[in-house]
């Protein structure tokens, strides 16, 4: 059976972009067709300035939202990265396979480091080694497929390179994974800045719909989305990115094709109104389930405990094999 692994970083509140771009598909498709693991990657949240209480809170919230979005602990494994030691154990071995040049070439590192240095700050060493830990997340489980957004494909490529290199040097140990992005991935952009992704860590509130926003707040954010000059509703991501984003959001929520949907609108106002309602409708069941789950924190804890146990069982043999292959004396 195909093994699927993906992770979500608890560095901010989860957004409509996380849901339409990833989580919904994990729940509707991946958990049914594969042996799938979904991980709240809390160790990755420590690579930038962080507040311990906030990371703890966001980790619990992300796990709860994964379940609220429809991940079924009977069908897939939902767990927290730091609960399974194998990630950190394997990460060190992979640091002995990766080179520092490889790390410094990672686009995300270069961008974040440049931003930090421009502010006169420093970056944590773990930000540089982050892709190695991510490779460990993936390789520990014999993962075949990693469903991620485009911004993560370079990191999955690195995981592939490290798997191939390790296998070549020390004998076949790892499955070589590949990134998958669904053909019709919804790429939800920031409502105030449609040139950039609706990311959870950007924290520029008005352009980002959070899964836990009240419906009234969600409506306001969509109604205030920037649109483009012009009057007619056409789907043109290059020239009319704001309108295209609204059409894509509407299409992702209701099904359908953004270019076709454009034909049924004669004003931006009507499009915004429908998009706002569609978003509120799509998030309603997630919010309701989230509320139920919050009323029963013991249940979520138990799911995470069982998930960690199962993940550990899956990862342990591969990581032990890697320790032996690389030349470490068995305990």
Q: Among all residues, which ones are annotated catalytic?
A: 112, 197, 200
Question: Minimum Å distance from CB 122 to ligand TRP?
Answer: 21
The dihedral sign for the CA sequence 26, 28, 29, 35: positive
Q: Which of residues 28-47 bind ligand TRP (CB under 6 A)?
A: 41, 44
**How does DSSP classify residue 15?**
B
Nearest Cα to Cα of residue 218 among 154, 293, 286, 138? 286
Nearest Cα to Cα of residue 45 among 61, 31, 25, 65? 61
Question: Minimum Å distance from CB 11 to ligand TRP?
Answer: 8
What CA–CA distance (Å, rounded) separates 130 from 241? 32
Residue 148 engages ligand TRP in binding (rule: CB under 6 A): yes
Please identify, among the stretches 27-35, 144-152, 252-260, 265-273, the one whose residues bind ligand TRP according to the rule CB under 6 A: 144-152
For residues 9 and 240, which CB has a smaller minimum distance to ligand TRP in the complex? 9
Element of type H or E holding 126: helix 125-139
Tokens of 246: 């609204």
Candidates 3, 4, 6, 209: give the one binding ligand TRP (CB under 6 A): 6
CB count within 10 Å of CB 326 equals: 16
For residues 48 and 326, which CB has a smaller minimum distance to ligand TRP in the complex? 48
Residue 5 engages ligand TRP in binding (rule: CB under 6 A): yes
Residue 146 engages ligand TRP in binding (rule: CB under 6 A): yes
- Long-range pairs of 23-30 with CB within 8 A, sequence gap ≥ 24: 23/65, 23/66, 23/69, 23/71, 24/69, 24/70, 25/147, 25/182, 26/66, 26/69, 26/71, 26/76, 26/147, 27/69, 27/70, 27/71, 27/72, 28/70, 29/182, 30/4, 30/6, 30/76, 30/147
Residue 134 engages ligand TRP in binding (rule: CB under 6 A): yes
Q: Which of residues 249-278 bind ligand TRP (CB under 6 A)?
A: none
Candidates 3, 4, 7, 194: give the one binding ligand TRP (CB under 6 A): 7
CB count within 10 Å of CB 103 equals: 17
Residue 68 engages ligand TRP in binding (rule: CB under 6 A): no
SS3 101: helix
> Which residues make Cβ contacts (< 8 Å) with residue 331, sequence separation at least 6?
none
Residue 25 engages ligand TRP in binding (rule: CB under 6 A): no
Tokens of 73: 């602990």
Question: Minimum Å distance from CB 146 to ligand TRP?
Answer: 5
For residues 138 and 262, which CB has a smaller minimum distance to ligand TRP in the complex? 138
**Phi, psi (deg, nearest 5) at residue 226:** -70, 135
Please identify, among the stretches 1-9, 88-96, 301-309, 318-326, the one whose residues bind ligand TRP according to the rule CB under 6 A: 1-9
Question: Minimum Å distance from CB 316 to ligand TRP?
Answer: 18
Residue 323 engages ligand TRP in binding (rule: CB under 6 A): no
Residue 137 engages ligand TRP in binding (rule: CB under 6 A): yes
Residue 71 engages ligand TRP in binding (rule: CB under 6 A): no
Site size with ligand TRP, rule: CB under 6 A: 13
For residues 43 and 276, which CB has a smaller minimum distance to ligand TRP in the complex? 43
Residues forming the site for ligand TRP (CB under 6 A): 5-7, 9, 41, 44, 134, 137-138, 146, 148, 152, 155
């Amino acid at each position: 059976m195909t093994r699927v692994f993906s992770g979500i970083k608890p560095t901010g509140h989860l957004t409509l972009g996380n849901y339409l771009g990833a989580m919904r598909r994990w729940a509707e498709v991946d958990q049914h067709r594969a042996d799938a693991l979904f991980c709240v990657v809390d160790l990755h949240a420590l690579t930038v300035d962080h507040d311990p209480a906030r990371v703890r809170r966001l980790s619990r919230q992300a796990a709860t939202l994964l379940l609220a979005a429809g991940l079924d602990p009977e069908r897939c494994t939902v767990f927290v990265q730091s609960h399974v030691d194998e990630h950190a154990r394997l990460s060190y071995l992979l640091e002995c396979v990766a080179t520092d040049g490889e790390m410094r070439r990672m686009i995300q590192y270069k961008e974040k480091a440049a931003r930090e240095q421009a502010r006169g700050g420093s970056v944590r060493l773990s930000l540089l080694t982050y892709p190695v830990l991510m490779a460990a997340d993936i390789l520990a489980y014999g993962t075949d497929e990693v469903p991620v957004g485009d911004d993560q494909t370079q990191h999955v490529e690195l995981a592939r390179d490290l798997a191939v290199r390790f296998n070549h040097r020390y004998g076949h140990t790892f499955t070589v994974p590949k990134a998958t992005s669904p053909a019709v991935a919804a790429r939800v952009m920031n409502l105030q800045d449609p040139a950039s992704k609706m990311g959870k860590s950007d924290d520029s509130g008005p352009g980002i719909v959070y899964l836990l926003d009240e419906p009234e707040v969600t409506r306001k954010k969509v109604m205030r989305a920037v649109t483009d000059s012009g009057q007619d509703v056409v789907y043109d991501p290059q020239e009319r990115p704001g309108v295209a984003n609204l059409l894509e959001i509407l299409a992702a929520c209701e099904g359908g094709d953004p270019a076709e949907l454009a034909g049924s609108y004669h004003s931006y106002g009507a499009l915004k109104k429908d998009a706002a309602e569609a978003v509120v409708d799509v998030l309603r069941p997630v919010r309701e389930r989230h509320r139920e789950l919050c009323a029963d924190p013991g249940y979520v804890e138990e799911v995470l405990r069982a998930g960690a146990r199962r993940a550990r069982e899956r990862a342990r043999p591969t990581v032990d094999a890697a320790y032996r292959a690389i030349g470490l004396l068995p305990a």
